[in-house]
Amino acid sequence: LNIFVSNILDTAKIKAGRMEHHVQPVCVEKTAQNVLTLFAVAAKRQNARLLLEIEPGLPQVAADPERLEQVLVNLVSNALKFTLEEGTIKIAARRKDGKVELSVADTGEGMSKENLAKLFQRFQQSDAARQKARGIQGTGLGLSIVKEALDAIGASVAVASEPGKGTRFSILLKIADP
């Protein structure tokens, strides 16, 4: 419910041009651990495994700590929704091309190319009728907030997915100045 309310309020702030971003050095590992702790009970209920794989010695990234945590919360929340019992959700981070790549991958349902094309648009949901039939609730705002939050700090997000093979969101973040 908290995620739902936050997404609605943040969408209103974004639309009004009132979303603030306070970019500073952020520890990816600490942020990811906080998010996994937040979802530990939900994952246990679902018999899902939450994994963390952080490259040793990873530098801090230039990000808004609250927004980066919100991005991960939205991605892990979605991963749990679409990962069947006994599935796996992994947050990973590594150096890539002079930046830090942060990813959230799951062993869930995956998505078709048609659904991927509209994924980051407001109020869009992948196969909404099937979600409703399965009791999956959402507003279609989480991923649009993810994209807008990352765009605002000069980061990028990409997604790879195939039906039946899971989904992986990859975020490229700038390394923070020392």
3-state secondary structure of 76: helix
pLDDT digits (tens, 9 = 90+) for 39-53: 999 999 999 999 999
The mean predicted confidence, pLDDT, of the chain is 85
Q: Report the pLDDT value the prediction gives residue 19, as an integer from 0 to 100.
A: 60
Q: Report the pLDDT value the prediction gives residue 84, as an integer from 0 to 100.
A: 84
pLDDT band at 63 (very low <50, low <70, confident <90, very high): very high
Greater confidence, 143 or 18?
Answer: 143
pLDDT digits (tens, 9 = 90+) for 116-160: 877 877 556 555 555 454 554 555 677 988 998 899 899 999 999
Residue 26's identity, in one-letter code, is: V
Mean pLDDT, residues 88-97: 97
Greater confidence, 117 or 102?
Answer: 102
Burial group, residue 99, by CB count within 10 angstroms (0-12, 13-18, 19+): middle
Q: Do residues 89 and 105 touch, judged by C-beta distance below 8 A?
A: yes
Query: What residues are paired with 99 via a beta bridge?
Result: 96, 174
Q: Report the pLDDT value the prediction gives residue 120, as an integer from 0 to 100.
A: 76
Q: Report the pLDDT value the prediction gives residue 88, as an integer from 0 to 100.
A: 97
Name the pTM for this structure. 0.82
Mean pLDDT, residues 47-66: 96
Q: Report the pLDDT value the prediction gives residue 113, as an integer from 0 to 100.
A: 85
Measured distance CA(31)–CA(168) in Å, rounded: 18
Percentage of residues of the chain with pLDDT beyond 90: 58
Percentage of residues of the chain with pLDDT beyond 70: 78
